[in-house]
């Protein structure tokens, strides 16, 4: 199976490197990821400037554009004669829960693949503080299990699967469950400051303030120590029969979380 990896944290980010190390022994795996961090850039495509693709190592490439550009470079150029069977975007440094997925470059890379009828998975590691240990291996191992189990084949047509993994050792993860998109609350603070030339500038400084009470939400699953698996159809009226996805989740729980 041919796997294309991308992200929005950049080609050198530890999340995508952990994912590559986990998948490369079992699959024909290629990384095309941004040459610099592109977090919260959403679904941007570079139409007004050229792109540069640089081979860093065998099967590992940096692209000067955005996450969506990286997937397009794979589908339309580098891998056009050997299209990937699945695109996995991540492992993102931080959660993509609730409405945050609409800002995410990680989700955008998976979404771009879906627009080209390629099964796509976005995966993120949810943690509370930047200085805590980041357990990327837990997320990488779970994605390997997902591909072994054929979870990507249960992707909604013209849609993606958004996976969030709690920042726990695998032995402490309670299992995985199908969820729906929740809603997170942030303060609306804008900090105004003055620079050295006496000009005003601003920082968006909102703080996370919790999530809506919804037992079926991705936010609640992560809070409870479960891996959240959220189908995300992109086109109105697309098929929303998730029975195949539910069967895969049942299989994963039975095999790996007993």
Q: Over the stretch 128-178, which tens digit does the pLDDT of each residue have?
A: 877 889 999 999 999 999 999 999 999 988 899 999 999 999 999 999 999
- What local confidence, expressed as pLDDT, does residue 156 receive? 87
- Give the C-alpha distances (Å, rounded to integers) separating 85 from 3, 142, 196, 230, 231: 6, 18, 52, 20, 18
Task: Tell me if 11 sits within 8 A of 73, measured CB to CB.
Answer: no
User: How does pLDDT run across 106-125, given as a tens digit for each residue?
Assistant: 999 999 999 999 999 999 99
DSSP label at residue 173: -
**pTM of this prediction?**
0.93
**Tokens 């997170």 -> residue:** 184
pLDDT computed for residue 205 by the predictor: 77
- Which pLDDT tens digit goes with each residue over 15-24? 999 999 999 9
Q: Which residues contact 27 (CB under 8 A, 6 or more apart)?
A: 1, 2, 3, 147
- pLDDT tens for each residue of 176-223: 999 999 999 988 889 999 999 999 999 987 788 888 999 999 999 999
Strands (E), the chain: 2-6, 28-34, 53-57, 60-63, 86-93, 120-126, 159-166, 176-178, 184-186, 190-194, 200-204, 208-211, 227-233
Whether the predicted pLDDT of 3 surpasses 90: yes
Arithmetic mean of pLDDT, 33-47: 90
Fold of 2-181+214-256: Stationary-phase Survival Protein Sure Homolog; Chain: A, (3.40.1210)
In angstroms, the Cα distances linking 58 to 6, 19, 149, 236, 257 are 15, 16, 27, 40, 35
- 230, two tokens: 């959220």
Report yes or no: 204 and 190 within 8 Å, Cβ to Cβ: yes
Residue range 214-255, pLDDT digits in tens? 999 999 999 999 999 999 998 876 667 899 999 999 999 999
Summarize pLDDT for 82-111 with one digit per residue, the tens. Answer: 999 999 999 999 999 999 999 999 999 999
**Domain-wise residue ranges, the chain:** 2-181+214-256
* Percent of the chain whose pLDDT exceeds 90: 85
Pairing between β-strand 53-57 and β-strand 60-63 as defined by DSSP bridges: antiparallel
Q: Give the pLDDT score at 238.
A: 67
CA dist 13 and 25 (Å) reads 20
């Amino acid at each position: 199976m041919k796997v294309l990896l991308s992200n929005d944290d950049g080609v050198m980010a530890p999340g995508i490197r952990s994912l590559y190390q986990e998948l490369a022994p079992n699959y024909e795996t290629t990384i095309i990821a941004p040459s610099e961090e592109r977090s919260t850039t959403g679904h941007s495509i570079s139409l007004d400037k050229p792109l540069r693709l640089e081979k860093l190592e065998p099967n590992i490439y940096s692209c000067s554009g955005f996450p969506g550009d990286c997937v397009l470079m794979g589908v339309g150029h580098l891998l056009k004669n050997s299209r990937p069977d699945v695109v996995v975007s991540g492992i993102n440094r931080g959660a993509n829960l609730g409405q945050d997925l609409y800002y995410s470059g990680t989700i955008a890379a998976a979404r771009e693949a879906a627009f080209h009828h390629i099964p796509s998975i976005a995966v993120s590691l949810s943690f509370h503080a930047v200085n805590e240990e980041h357990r990327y291996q837990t997320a990488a191992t779970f994605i390997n299990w997902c591909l072994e189990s054929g979870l990507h084949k249960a992707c909604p047509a013209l849609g993606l699967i958004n996976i969030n993994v709690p920042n726990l050792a695998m032995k402490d993860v309670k299992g995985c469950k199908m969820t729906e998109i929740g809603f997170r609350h942030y303060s609306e603070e804008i900090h105004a400051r003055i620079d050295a030339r006496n000009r005003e500038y601003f920082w968006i400084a909102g703080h996370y303030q919790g999530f809506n009470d919804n037992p079926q939400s991705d936010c609640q699953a992560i809070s409870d120590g479960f891996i959240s698996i959220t189908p995300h159809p992109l086109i109105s009226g697309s098929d929303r029969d998730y029975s195949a996805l539910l069967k895969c989740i049942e299989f994963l729980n039975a095999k790996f979380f007993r």
